[in-house]
Amino acid sequence: METLVNEKQITTAKKTMSGAEAVICSLLAEGVETIFGYPGGAIMPIYDALYDYMDQVNHILVRHEQGAMHAAQGFARVRKEVGVVFATSGPGATNLITGIADAHTDSTPIVCITGQVPSSLLGTDAFQETDVIGISMPVTKWNHQITDAREIPEIIAKAFYIAKSGRPGPVVIDITKDAQFASMEFEYQKCSKIRTYHPVPKIKEEQLQQAASLINKSERPFLLVGQGILISEAQDILRSFIEKANIPAAWTILGLSALENSHPLNVGMLGMHGNYAPNLLTNECDVLIAVGMRFDDRVTGDLTKYARQAKVIHIDIDPSEIDKNVKADVPLIGDAKQVLEALLPLVSKKRHGPWLKRFKDLHKIEVEKVITPALYPQTPGILMGEVIRHISEATKGEAIIVTDVGQHQMVTSRYYNFKHPHSNVTSGGLGTMGFALPAAMGAKVGMPERPVVAIIGDGGFQMTLQELGTIFQYEIPVKIVILNNGFLGMVRQWQQMFFERRYSFTEMKNPDFIAIAGGFSIQGQKVSDRKHLVAAVKEMLGHPAAYLLEVVVEKEENVFPMIPSGAAVDDIRME
């Protein structure tokens, strides 16, 4: 059996085995060590085969298939590997869809293997039959249904190659039950090329020269950092690039941690709840360089008023993103690292003193009006920003921070002092509430040597709190912080600002979160008084096992700055 998991021998060794065992051996050949999943009837043969490989594969039994997807996302994002998920047919497969869509939007490489009813029953509305291929097609990079066991090694090899190459994304492989039972001659060869698929476009020299010319002539250049920097591991070349040309750089929420917060050219976060200076000055720069980002509407606001004065250089590996939202004067299609490496020797050293001072002056205004009151509040109740400040200081910026979706997500992005790349795990494009708890679980499994802190709102926590059972069973020492304001906070803020305080179904009557955690043998405490906060954070971080800290924060605290929906980026409000 050893030869079947040895990468050098596995390409030539042949052995008769079931399709189910071929799935496991194919995953081992790809170096898979961890699987997140939930068994059921249609995938039972694969789980039976897995029983003989439990010493080689760490399978995490989640409490819901959506939790498996988010856990695999957290794992993939911090490990920079392909996450793997198992689920059965019907509701098992459909429960994956939210997570698959999330991974697709946020370019996370996941291979999902779902069981399916026997091929003779396809199309008959058999028990737990669902067209998972049709359902998942819009939110996958590729999907395929296997009805012949002999296809299994080749399709799995293709799945891993497609998921992780170019712009990463999720892949679904649906395997009928009869294909899992059938015998086949197993032989595995990793995939390194597909004839019709070209994941890394060739960079055009002419466009490099055009981009360099614009940058060298620019007096007010501005660079936008997207997740493409992290995916291509371009952090170092990005730093060299902006330092040589002295270009201020701001980041999207998924580009966060690509450039350390303390870097003097890091001017903050873009978008609806981003920093004042980068949003305002987007409409004053003369050259806008976007790297590995897609000009999401939360970044651009009103497109008719977005950076109309600027020449736009758009660097992205996905050609479909070019000119989709913002017209590029110079499109540079290619891997972010490769493009910046080619561009670096072409750009000139610059100073841009007055332009950089403009950012600093505007930042001082934000510090006075927003940041200082948020981090060092004079309010009777605890504010979200001060909680994040204490966690940041206590962890020295070294933790992996996993956030759910809402006000706490924006506050954490703004105020946690990230020091290392791949340290920010969040749901960006889809904005999936319930993401953080299972994603933090997966991140901790992926990087057990680093502290992992999940920061969650009281609403999002209740969407996937069943994964406390997984944390309990596998003794995963994640730290969980619930910022409890008794509201669906982000929606409530919009209702306050734009719907005359008509709080329609956003106030929540919450359960005893500490008691719930206790039911899973997870220790915790609830803090509602500022004087206990520092000690509580210290106790949480020092606890050797999982720990839940509930912090009661001001019920009607708002997150500022804010760009109202549909407004221009320079319509940013400080209050």
Q: What is the 3-state secondary structure (H, E, C) of 409-475?
A: HHHHHHHCCCCCCCCEECCCCCCCCCCHHHHHHHHHHHCCCCCEEEEEEHHHHCCCHHHHHHHHHHC
Given CA atoms 476, 64, 443, 539 in this order, what sign does their dihedral have? negative
Paired with 243 in beta bridges are none
CA distance to 479, 481, 510, 528, 570, per residue, from 525 (Å): 12, 10, 15, 10, 42
Annotated catalytic residue 44: no
Tell me whether residue 473 is one of the annotated catalytic residues: no
Cβ burial 36-75 (10 Å sphere, 16+ → b, else e)? bbbbbebbbbbbebbeebeeebebbebbbbbbbbbbbbbb
Question: Starting at the edge strand that comes first in sequence, how are the strands of the sheet with 547-552 ordered?
Answer: 424-425, 400-403, 452-457, 479-484, 547-552, 523-527
Tokens 């359902």 correspond to what residue?
135
Please say whether the dihedral angle defined by the alpha carbons of residues 516, 518, 522 and 527, taken in this order, is positive or negative: positive
Active site residue 65: yes
The span from the CA of 458 to the CA of 448, in Å, is 26
List 17, 21, 36, 65, catalytic entry: 65
Told to judge if 177 belongs to the known catalytic residues of this protein, a careful annotator would answer yes
Is 235 a catalytic site residue?
A: no
CA distances from 44 to 20, 21, 233, 439, 459 (A): 9, 12, 38, 25, 34
CB neighbour list of residue 277: distance below 8 Å, 6 or more residues apart: 267, 268, 358, 359, 360, 362, 363, 366
The values of phi and psi at residue 315, to 5°, are -105, 120
384, 490, 540, 562: the active-site residue: 490
| Encoded tokens for 474 | 């596998």
What token pair was written down for 61? Answer: 């039994």
Q: DSSP states of 503-523 as a string?
A: --S-B-----HHHHHHHTT-E
Whether 170 contacts 139, CB under 8 Å = yes
Select which of 158, 177, 337, 479 is catalytic: 177
Cα–Cα distances in angstroms (integers) from residue 538 to residues 5, 96, 443, in the given order: 44, 36, 21
Torsion sign (Cα): 337, 74, 420, 557: positive
The catalytic position among 7, 14, 127, 357 is 127
What residues are annotated to the active site?
A: 65, 127-128, 177, 490
